[in-house]
Amino acid sequence: MTHQVLVGGRWRDAKDPVGAFTANDPAQGVPIPGEYPISSWLDLAEALAAGAGAAPALAQAGPDRIAGCLDALAAGLERRADALIDMARLETGLPAASRLRSSELPRTTGQLRQAAAACRDRSWTRATIDTKLDIRSKLGPIGGPVAVMGPSNFPFAFNAVGGGDFVAALAAANPVIAKANPQSPGTTRIMAEAAFEALSASGLPAAAVQLVYHFSPEDARKLVSHPLIGASAFTGGRAAGLGLKEAADRAGKPIYLEMSSINPVFVLAGALKERGRDIAAELFASCTLGAGQFCTKPGLVIYQEGPGDGGLSEAIEAAFNGAPADIVLGRGVVRGLEAGVERLKKLGAELAAGRGEAEGPGFRFRPALFRVPAARFLKSPAEFQVESFGAVSLAVAAKDVGEMTAVAAALEGQLTATVFSARDGSDDAAYAVLEPLLRRRCGRLLNDKVPTGVAVSPAMNHGGPFPATGHPGFTSVGIPAAMTRFAALHCYDNVRQDRLPFELRNENPTGRMWRLVDGEWTQRSIG
């Protein structure tokens, strides 16, 4: 059986698909019954037209109705929890209880409800009113449907339907054209069934959420640069991301990309001395969490080598040596990791710990820790910074703070950068040197804490300078900031009250919405 796409407000067969694919069970390495179509441009053309048609209706529907839909979707996902968790476990090999049920599903529904609250609150629109000149502005929808292409590693939280980018785009009143990750089409289908039901229950246009499962790279570029598209969001590998970016940029279409990050962790000398073994345990856990398939996995650990490392080397090597092989998302992940291992070897890094046979069926990989002297790293810094998606990390042994500083100065843009330093102040001088170098190279700067675990907080930045993402001013996690990516700045000059959006009228529409009126943030109505 071939599954149906959700296009133009109804589930239907793909039109003239260019092919079909199956998802695989990575635990066993076998295909999962059921085929998914690879859409031709026909489906995308219809989705674009329907999405563009739904955009004004969605904007008109207003934030309360969109909030209702987001809440309904959260509830719908909870009602489907068993089916979702069974399917996601089957498609991704991720643990059902410890990860999918207890952590990722609540995170996903929590994010939906935060976005619903932000919709109702409306403060995210940054309504700004100049009463003397009668000029008023706010963030509004970006002007067309948003294409969302999700990653493989979070089947719920970053799913193209119901995940972070989807939620941000829809909460900002934009229709979504979602492309499933080919790793988890079944999970995405169930999420889309819940979304379709939620749209209908809340009276929103049926074409406000559309789903296809796959399309060609050429059609992807055509989609993100199409005149009817409002913006796009992509989370995945750097090569694919850069291809989409080029197409979207040329057409002047906003695109938000999360493309790669090796999340350097600097362990300063005082911290090593103080708690080397504890840090080793934290780092090992962070490097191997979710089989290392996290965008914030520490791929690079820079520390001051020598006998004073407080047991860090010994402890982290023992941990890697004792690590079992983990199920990974697919054959492609194994291949990518094997290629990464070869690349590191060729560059002159040595295997420090882990690796070895990955017993068992399906797609598995045994965590590996490589090591290289900082001087060697500094000879080929770009090559050493190619991300390995999975449990491969590189320890960089520096002779002194000078070498650590040189490594920091050679880093590309990153999602995160972390510094472990001593509590007694002995690392403060080194920190002061490193901090400005890291600050301009990362989105989130952490101290004494591993970077995996990206809280859905208004203060979060899951973003960073190119090539980690496409623009250093935006985050893809955190409500309401993530919503502003899918917004245009709408200014009204001398427009009468009854023609203004409610957010900009004299009366505060909720009585609680924060607005910048004549230079002061206030919840009051005007006049």
Q: Residue 169 corresponds to which tokens in the numbers above?
A: 């785009």
Complex with its own copies: residue 33 or 252, whichever CB lies closer: 252
Which one of the spans 1-9, 97-105, 159-167, 457-465 is the region binding its own copies (CB under 8 A)?
A: 457-465
Complex with its own copies: residue 130 or 193, whichever CB lies closer: 130
443 lies in the site for its own copies, by CB under 8 A: yes
Evaluate whether 248 touches 232 at the Cβ level (below 8 Å). yes
Q: Is the peptide bond before 480 cis (omega within 30 degrees of 0)?
A: yes
508 lies in the site for its own copies, by CB under 8 A: no
The C-alpha atoms of residue 218 and residue 71 are separated, in whole angstroms, by 35
Residue 10: its H or E element: strand 10-12
Complex with its own copies: residue 284 or 431, whichever CB lies closer: 431
DSSP 147-163: EEE--SS-TTTT-TTTS
Which one of the spans 81-89, 190-198, 262-270, 470-478 is the region binding its own copies (CB under 8 A)?
A: 470-478
The CA dihedral of 218, 224, 229, 231, to the nearest 10 degrees, is: 170
Q: Which of 175, 292, 470, 509 binds its own copies (CB under 8 A)?
A: 470
- Please report, as residue ranges, which positions from 135 to 154 form the binding site for its own copies (by CB under 8 A): 135-137, 139-144
481 lies in the site for its own copies, by CB under 8 A: yes
Total length of the chain = 527
Q: Which of 359, 499, 511, 527 binds its own copies (CB under 8 A)?
A: 499
Single-letter amino acid, residue 518: D
- Please report, as residue ranges, which positions from 252 to 281 form the binding site for its own copies (by CB under 8 A): 252-254
Q: Which of 373, 516, 525, 526 binds its own copies (CB under 8 A)?
A: 516
Which one of the spans 187-195, 265-273, 340-348, 451-459 is the region binding its own copies (CB under 8 A)?
A: 451-459
Q: Which of 86, 246, 278, 338 binds its own copies (CB under 8 A)?
A: 246
- Please report, as residue ranges, which positions from 46 to 65 form the binding site for its own copies (by CB under 8 A): 55-56, 59
Evaluate whether 443 touches 415 at the Cβ level (below 8 Å). yes
Complex with its own copies: residue 83 or 135, whichever CB lies closer: 135
Evaluate whether 161 touches 80 at the Cβ level (below 8 Å). no
Catalytic residues: 258, 295
CB of 45 to its own copies, least distance (A): 18
Q: Which of 4, 28, 103, 123 binds its own copies (CB under 8 A)?
A: 123
- Please report, as residue ranges, which positions from 395 to 424 form the binding site for its own copies (by CB under 8 A): 413, 416
The C-alpha atoms of residue 437 and residue 53 are separated, in whole angstroms, by 47
Tell me if residue 294 falls in helix, strand or coil.
Answer: coil
Collect contacts of 197-204 with beta carbons under 8 A, ≥24 apart: 197/72, 197/76, 198/69, 198/70, 198/72, 198/73, 198/76, 199/69, 201/68, 201/69, 201/72, 202/65, 202/66, 202/68, 202/69, 202/72, 203/61, 203/65, 204/57, 204/58, 204/61, 204/65, 204/66, 204/69
CB of 313 to its own copies, least distance (A): 24
116 lies in the site for its own copies, by CB under 8 A: no
Q: Which of 122, 179, 245, 366 binds its own copies (CB under 8 A)?
A: 245
**With CB under 8 A, what is the number of residues at the site for its own copies?**
75
DSSP 301-364: EEEE-STTSTTHHHHHHHHHHTPPPEE-S-HHHHHHHHHHHHHHHHHT-EEEEE-S---SSSSE
447 lies in the site for its own copies, by CB under 8 A: yes
Q: List 442's β-bridge partners, or say none.
A: 414
Q: Which of 314, 332, 471, 510 binds its own copies (CB under 8 A)?
A: 471
Nearest partner of 229 among 485, 66, 51, 39, judged by Cα: 51
CB of 243 to its own copies, least distance (A): 12
- Please report, as residue ranges, which positions from 14 to 53 form the binding site for its own copies (by CB under 8 A): none
- Dihedral over Cα of 120, 123, 126, 132: its sign: positive
Q: Which of 496, 497, 511, 527 binds its own copies (CB under 8 A)?
A: 496
Tell me if residue 85 falls in helix, strand or coil.
Answer: helix
Complex with its own copies: residue 88 or 269, whichever CB lies closer: 269
458 lies in the site for its own copies, by CB under 8 A: yes
Q: Is the peptide bond before 467 cis (omega within 30 degrees of 0)?
A: yes
Whole-Å CA distances, 201 to 113, 130, 210, 478? 16, 38, 16, 26
Q: Which of 12, 342, 436, 506 binds its own copies (CB under 8 A)?
A: 436
Complex with its own copies: residue 395 or 454, whichever CB lies closer: 454
Complex with its own copies: residue 250 or 335, whichever CB lies closer: 250
Complex with its own copies: residue 79 or 440, whichever CB lies closer: 440
Complex with its own copies: residue 239 or 455, whichever CB lies closer: 455
